[in-house]
Each structure stands twice: as structure tokens, then as C-alpha cells.
Amino acid sequence: MRVQVQTAPFDPATELAGFARGRHDIGATVSFTGLVRDDTGQLVALDIEHYPGMTEAAITAMVDEAVARWQLVDCRVIHRFGHLTPGEPIMMVATAARHRAEAFAAAEFLMDYLKSRAPFWKKEITDQGGDWVKAKDSDEDALTRW
């Protein structure tokens, strides 16, 4: 299990290369990568602020819960902060379990919780200035299924 909160860019393929490798008790791995999306063609950058200390603790608690609920054999979370440009990976979740249902469910759980329970705040930077991204009610509602 590994949690990384970092400013540095990462390459999902490189990060996944060694994930769950060499184990014989894993039947399924699932990975998700979130990218900086530009809906308007105006986005210059995404500035991501976080709460050092709480971020790592909150994500580690989510990972511990996911591991326990879905008996994950391995799990990785990478989440960046700082100045990101369109197309760059923001975050990655990878889960490894005996069966695909557990690997998928745990990955979705972690993505839902990262969205509204990990202390990150996104600001969209355009030529006109910066706008804090507003949390969506649907993101909060997504937690009720867990």
C-alpha cells in the first residue's frame, strides 16, 4: 500500500509497471488516472492547493478502509498538487484484489472519497484570472452509496 502526495508529474504507465507484479494471489487489478480537462479551450492551468499532513492522513485512512472492505492485496494512490497544465495526470488510483468486483468497487470508493473527503482545492486559471472549482452536490451524493 502506498500513498504519494506530490507536485512532481508522474507517468501512469511507469507507475503501474511494477504494480502487483510477481504475485500469484492477485486475479484483478484496476487503475484510474484523472487528467486536467479543458472544457472551454481557455484553461491555462489548474492550481491545486492542499492541507499538508491532513491530506496524507485522510488518504491513508481511505486506503486502509478500502483494503479492509474489499480485501485488497495491494493499493496505490498518487495525487498531485501545485501548478498543473491541461492534459497532465492529476491523480491515480490502483487496486489489486483476488477478483475484479472487489478491485473495481475499491477503486470507485477511493475515487469518490478522494473527490470530496481529501483536502484538495482546485482553482482554474484562465487569461481572465482564477476561479475556485465548486464542489458538486452529485459528488457528495456519491458517498451515500458506500
Partner 1 sequence: MIEVLYFAWVRERIGLARETVETSAATPAALVAELAAREPRYAAAFADTSALRVALDQTLASFDAPLAGVREVAFFPPMTGG
Footprint of partner 1 (CB under 8 A): 34, 49, 51, 53-54, 57-58, 79, 90-91, 111, 114-123, 132-135, 140
Kindly tell me which of 22 and 129 has the beta carbon lying closer to partner 1: 129
We find the least distance from the C-beta atom of residue 50 to partner 1, in angstroms, to be 8
86 and 37 in contact (C-beta within 8 Å)?
yes
**Can you read off the three cell numbers belonging to residue 36?**
486536467
| Number of residues that this document lists for the chain | 146
Residues 6+ positions from 87 with CB-CB distance below 8 Å? 35, 36, 38
We find the least distance from the C-beta atom of residue 136 to partner 1, in angstroms, to be 9
**Can you read off the three cell numbers belonging to residue 49?**
492547493
We find the least distance from the C-beta atom of residue 94 to partner 1, in angstroms, to be 15
